[in-house]
A and B are shown apart, each in its own frame.
Chain A
Amino acid sequence: MNSIKKKWITTGFLKTLISESKKNKKIIVLDADLSDDAQLYEFKKKFPDRFIQNGIAEQDMVSTAGGLALSGLLPVVNSFSSFLVSRANEQIFNNSSEKTKIIYICLYSGIIPAAAGKSHQSFRDISLLSNIPRIRIFNPFNFFEAQEILKYCIKFEKLNCAIRLNLGSPPNNKIFSKKFKFKPGEGTILKALGNHGLIITYGQYLINEAINAVEYLNKERLKLTLVNLSSLNFFSHKWVKNISRKYKKIFLIEDHYKTGGMSDQFINFLVEKRISTRLQIKKIALNDFPHCGEPQEVLKIHGLDKNSLVREIKKFI
Chain B
Amino acid sequence: MRIFFFKKKNFDDILKKKISNLKKAELIALLHRVNILSMIKNSGSGHIGTSFSALDLMIWIKFFQFKVSKKKILNKDRHVFFSSKGHDVPALYSILFSLGLISFNKLLRFRKLFGLEGHPDIDTNGIESNTGSLGMGISKAKGISWAKKYLKVKGYVIVLIGDGEFQEGQIFEALQNISHQKNKNLIVIMDHNKVQSSDFVKNIINLGNVKSKIKSFGWNVLRINGHDFKEIDSAFKRGIKIKKKPLFIIADTIKGRGVSFMEHPSVMEKYKKYIWHSGAPSDDFFKIALEELFEKISQSYLKYRISLPKVVTINLKDKSLTREKIIEFH
Contact = CB atoms under 8 A, between A and B. Distances in A.
Interface of A: 28, 49-50, 52, 54-55, 57, 59-73, 75, 90-91, 94, 97-99
Contact of A97 (B121, B135, B141, B148): B121
Contact of A72 (B136, B147, B173, B176): B147
Given A67-B143, A70-B128, A98-B122, A54 B177 contact: yes
Contacts of B141: 67
A78 to B, nearest CB: 15
B44 interface: no
Which interface residue of A50, A59, A75 has the most chain B CB atoms within 10 A?
Answer: A59
A75 B174 CA distance: 18
B150 A59 contact: no
The binding surface of chain A is classed by DSSP as: helix
B130 A94 contact: yes
Contacts of B128: 70
Contacts of A99: 122
Contacts, number: 98
A50 B147 CA distance: 10
A29 B146 CA distance: 12
Contacts of A98: 122, 129-130
Given A67-B142, A70-B144, A71-B148, A59 B129 contact: no
A62 to B, nearest CB: 8
Given A64-B143, A73-B150, A98-B130, A52 B170 contact: no
B115 interface: no
Given A52-B181, A67-B142, 13 more contacts: A28-B150, A55-B177, A55-B180, A59-B136, A60-B139, A60-B142, A67-B141, A67-B143, A70-B143, A71-B143, A71-B151, A72-B147, A94-B131
Contact of A63 (B136, B151, B180): B136
Contacts of A28: 150
Interface residues of B, number: 31
Contacts of B177: 54-55, 57, 60, 64
Contacts of A73: 147, 150-151
Nearest to B141: A67
A77 to B, nearest CB: 11
Contacts of A72: 76, 147, 151
30 contacts: A52-B146, A57-B174, A57-B176, A57-B177, A59-B139, A60-B139, A61-B139, A63-B139, A63-B140, A63-B174, A64-B139, A66-B136, A66-B140, A67-B129, A67-B140, A67-B141, A68-B146, A70-B122, A70-B147, A71-B76, A71-B143, A71-B148, A73-B150, A90-B133, A91-B136, A91-B139, A91-B170, A94-B130, A94-B131, A94-B136
A75 B151 CA distance: 14
Interface of B: 76, 121-122, 128-131, 133, 135-137, 139-148, 150-151, 169-170, 173-174, 176-177, 180-181
Contact of B147 (A59, A67, A91): A67
Nearest to A30: B143
Nearest to A64: B143
Contacts of B121: 97
A160 to B, nearest CB: 14
A68 B173 contact: no
Interface centre among A54, A65, A71 (most CB of B within 10 A): A71
B133 A94 contact: yes
A59 B170 contact: yes
B146 A59 contact: no
A99 B129 CA distance: 11
Contact of A70 (B140, B169, B170): B140
A64 B140 contact: yes
A71 B170 contact: no
Nearest to A60: B173
A75 B146 CA distance: 12
Contacts of B130: 94, 97-98
B150 A49 contact: yes
Contacts of B129: 66-67, 70, 98
Q: Which 4 pairs show the lowest CB-CB distances between chains A and B?
A: A67-B143, A71-B147, A63-B139, A60-B173
A106 to B, nearest CB: 20
Contacts of B146: 52, 64, 67-68
Contacts of A69: 143
A99 B151 CA distance: 21
B235 to A, nearest CB: 24
B36 to A, nearest CB: 25
B229 to A, nearest CB: 29
B147 A60 contact: no
A70 B144 CA distance: 7
A89 to B, nearest CB: 11
Contacts of B122: 70, 98-99
A2 B139 CA distance: 35
| Best-buried of B143, B173, B174 by chain A (most CB within 10 Å) | B143
A97 B86 CA distance: 15
A68 B143 contact: yes
A198 to B, nearest CB: 42
Given A64-B143, A67-B143, A70-B128, A59 B173 contact: yes
A310 B122 CA distance: 52
A112 B238 CA distance: 55
Contacts of B148: 71
B150 A64 contact: no
